[in-house]
Amino acid sequence: MEIGTKIQRKYRLSLYAVLLAFASTFAVAEDRPGLDNDVHTAIAKLKASVPAAAALGENAKGVLIFPNIVKAGFIIGAQYGNGALVKAKEGGGYYIDDYYSLAAASYGLQAGVQSFGYALILMTDAAVQHVETSSGWELGGGPSIVVVDAGMAKTISTKTADAGIYAFTFGQKGLMAGMGLQGSKVSRLN
């Protein structure tokens, strides 16, 4: 067997693995009541596990939350998940305003399958407006986003927070190793 054929087979297998990993996520896209439940559960989980997110959330204008993003790949990778823009109600509480998807493709030294939740806490009206009016917003292009890691989460508070958007990853399951070039794109679901 030629080396070229072996490489083509590995790429084909990688692509099949990625497609299988996302098949269940795409099937859920039309299940809005299920997505609503997942969003409410994810918000509760985020508040309970990351106190900084809970503190920022109290002053936030909105939260763009993706309860379950699936990321998979071998050399070629992809990630996908559905979520919602959640806004604060006057007098307390929140409501789901609209639905969004997050998708990305990557290429590079990577292998594995992982699922995780992702929340973008929108601290300003301008950040919320950007999400609502953008058609296919690529993360990193537009308002600046502060990615909050475990160390920063211990020191951030409503008094030290001065960015428009804070990003939190939570509930990781599985293993994804390596490096890849990736640009996540957020789009409104029809």
Q: What is the pLDDT of residue 96?
A: 93
Q: Which comes out higher in pLDDT, residue 181 or 96? A: 96
Give the strand pairing for 145-147 and 165-178: parallel
Please tell me the total count of domains within the chain. 1
Give the strand pairing for 94-122 and 62-88: antiparallel
Q: What is the pLDDT of residue 162?
A: 58
What is the mean predicted confidence (pLDDT) over 43-68? 91
Contact 167, 184 (CB under 8 A): no
Q: Which residues contact 180 (CB under 8 A, 6 or more apart)?
A: 73, 77, 106, 107, 108, 109, 110
- Partnered with residue 186 across adjacent β-strands are 102, 137
Mean pLDDT for all residues in the chain: 78
Contact 146, 163 (CB under 8 A): yes
Q: Which residues contact 48 (CB under 8 A, 6 or more apart)?
A: 54
What is the mean predicted confidence (pLDDT) over 60-80? 91
Which has the minimum average pLDDT: 11-15, 119-123, 131-135? Answer: 11-15
Q: What is the pLDDT of residue 95?
A: 93
For helices 51-59 and 32-49, the axis angle rounded to 10 degrees is 110
What is the mean predicted confidence (pLDDT) over 159-183? 72
Judged by phi (left if over 0) then psi (alpha if -120 to 50, else beta), residue 177 lies in beta
Domain residues for the domain of 54 are 3-188
- Here the tokens at position 64 are 């763009």
pLDDT-derived band at 181, boundaries 50, 70, 90: very low
Q: Distance (Å, rounded) from C-alpha 29 to C-alpha 99? A: 10
Q: What is the pLDDT of residue 40?
A: 94
